[in-house]
Amino acid sequence: MSEPAISNFIRDEVAADLAAKRFTKVATRFPPEPNGYLHIGHAKAICINFGIAQEFGGVCNLRFDDTNPTKEEQRYIDSIQEDVCWLGFDWGDRLFYASDYFDRMYELALEMIRGGKAYVDDQTQEQIRLSRGTLTEPGTPSPWRNRSIEENLDLFRRMKAGEFPDGSRVLRAKIDMSSPNLNMRDPVMYRILAVPHHRTGDRWKIYPMYDWAHGLEDSIEGITHSLCTLEFADHRPLYDWFLEQLGVHHPRQIEFARLELSYTVLSKRKLLQLVERKLVSGWDDPRLPTLAAMRRRGYTAEAIRNFCDRIGVSRSNSIVDVALLEHCLREDLNRRAPRTMAVLRPLKLVITNYPEGKIELLNADINPEDPSAGKREVPFNRELWIERDDFMENPPAKFFRLAPGREVRLKYAYYVRCNEVIKDPGTGEIVELHCTYDPETRGGWSKDGRRVKGTSHWISVPHAIPAEFRLYDRLFNRPDPDEGEGFLSNINPDSLEAIRGFVEAGLAGARPGSNYQFERQGYFCVDPDSTPSAMVFNRSVSLKDSWAKISR
């Protein structure tokens, strides 16, 4: 695995707890709500939780926080497990569901009522909201706040039995309506919701609220360190209060900053809107920051783990430059991706002095960064595809590639000189270049020391495999997509361009998910839509590294 994080105050806190014998072992958890696909922000939380457990020889649970049946689905549960595995983490036999604790939570709620610490409130949601007060004014106690314990027990049991309509009553904690912390002003613990649950079916007509359930889940599982994002710091006194009233195992909560990335939205709610409005092709559209999408785009688990290590863990929110994420991918793929040539926008080049029917196999490195990867053989012949951008009929001063009368190197092959430009008589479009080659320059080097300034990649026409290339740009055209009229109005209309060209014969049969570096073009990955007769490649990232430039 990768090197330790640059800054990680959580590690220091956990080490201090163990040294002080506050806990004797470490137990963490990753607790997603199964209401969407995981994104790169979740990857940060996964790396922190599993990472801390690994480092201290502890355990990390995967727990589905499935307390809201209106938004949760089995397919999200499946995708979350797939993503955590893919990232390289193992929860062993510790896969849990909050819904498995519904009985226990209900018992504990009865205990709260018996202790006079919870009551059934008949007010509407709206009335409860309005009587909560503000940061400067205390709340108003509910008229039902002083019901007898017997009446509360009876009403709560009947809420559970489904005797009352949805939303007609709630169970609230009885804490302090004038607490400066609004979370302590008699928060709702249970609501009536006659909606079937994907795991418990129609057994439950009441469901626990997050603030009541979450701390209990950690307590029941014996979690020692509840690592969560900063927005829960204000809820900590409430979790502490519940656990103290009940006298049960009490984890320590430590908050860290959420990951925020430029040009990216990291909220399942917003991602769901993009999917539902068909602004992207699905949860795994390669332009999204979900782990499923990033995997499809060609991201490796190593690159993502490395990124999470590099950004470290801090106590204050900041926005990370998406260029750093891309840099981490380049760094990883540079090490591991086999090199190959692909022509994205093809133009035919005919070598008029090359024998018809002759085929040569030229040697090229599979990966110059990794000599053990060996060599590949690339077929060369009289007719080649080159990149349309590598030729200009009337080149400006700084253009060093092919032009009429000019000589360039065909990578690994020969020097060629352009003698004639063939155009479509109707449209005037350039359709073919006629060149001659110098047989004395085999391998792409001249023995007489003659230099050329440009090098082109190429593909032999009879060997070329047709392919579609999907070129992605940022999905949003502002660093902060929420600026202005909101994220839906800041969508980049040119975030996907699909073009057709050719790849080397050696890529025949390449499996979806395989990464390549197309020389001079960028890193590409075989898409799941790809078939042997219609190959499809996603551009993972270009070769140009803006992060390396910034950080130099």
Determine the residue with CB nearest ligand ATP. Answer: 41
**Span from 169-177, 264-272, 351-359, 380-388 in contact with ligand ATP (CB under 6 A):** 264-272
Of 127, 267, 367, 477, the one binding ligand ATP (CB under 6 A) is 267
Q: Are 418 and 433 in contact (CB under 8 A)?
A: yes
Q: Which residues contact 286 (CB under 8 A, 6 or more apart)?
A: 293, 294, 296, 297, 298, 470, 472, 527, 538
Of 33, 176, 370, 480, the one binding ligand ATP (CB under 6 A) is 33
Of 8, 27, 31, 418, the one binding ligand ATP (CB under 6 A) is 31
**464 near ligand ATP, rule: CB under 6 A:** no
d(CA 92, CA 410): 53
Sheet holding 27-30, edge to edge: 27-30, 59-64, 95-97
**51 near ligand ATP, rule: CB under 6 A:** no
Mark residue 486 as left, alpha or beta (left: phi above 0; alpha: psi -120 to 50; beta: remaining).
Answer: left
Q: Are 61 and 221 in contact (CB under 8 A)?
A: yes
Q: How many residues are recorded in the chain? A: 552
**266 near ligand ATP, rule: CB under 6 A:** yes
**Which three-class secondary structure state does DSSP give residue 431?**
strand
**409 near ligand ATP, rule: CB under 6 A:** no
Question: Hey, how many other C-beta atoms are within 10 angstroms of the C-beta on 400?
Answer: 13
**45 near ligand ATP, rule: CB under 6 A:** yes
Of 10, 23, 27, 41, the one binding ligand ATP (CB under 6 A) is 41
Q: How far is the CB of 63 from ligand ATP (least distance, A)?
A: 10
Q: How far is the CB of 294 from ligand ATP (least distance, A)?
A: 14
**236 near ligand ATP, rule: CB under 6 A:** no
Q: Are 457 and 386 in contact (CB under 8 A)?
A: yes
Q: How many helices (H) and strands (E) does the chain have?
A: 13, 27
**228 near ligand ATP, rule: CB under 6 A:** yes
Q: Which residues are catalytic, by number? A: 33, 258, 268
Q: How far is the CB of 75 from ligand ATP (least distance, A)?
A: 15
Q: How far is the CB of 323 from ligand ATP (least distance, A)?
A: 18
**225 near ligand ATP, rule: CB under 6 A:** no
Beta bridge partners of 384: 349, 460
Binding track, positions 480-519, relative to ligand ATP; x by CB under 6 A: ----------------------------------------
Residue 149 is which amino acid? I
d(CA 348, CA 385): 5
**214 near ligand ATP, rule: CB under 6 A:** no
| Total residues at interface with ligand ATP (CB under 6 A) | 15
| Residues making contact with ligand ATP (CB under 6 A) | 31-33, 41-42, 44-45, 228-229, 258-259, 266-269
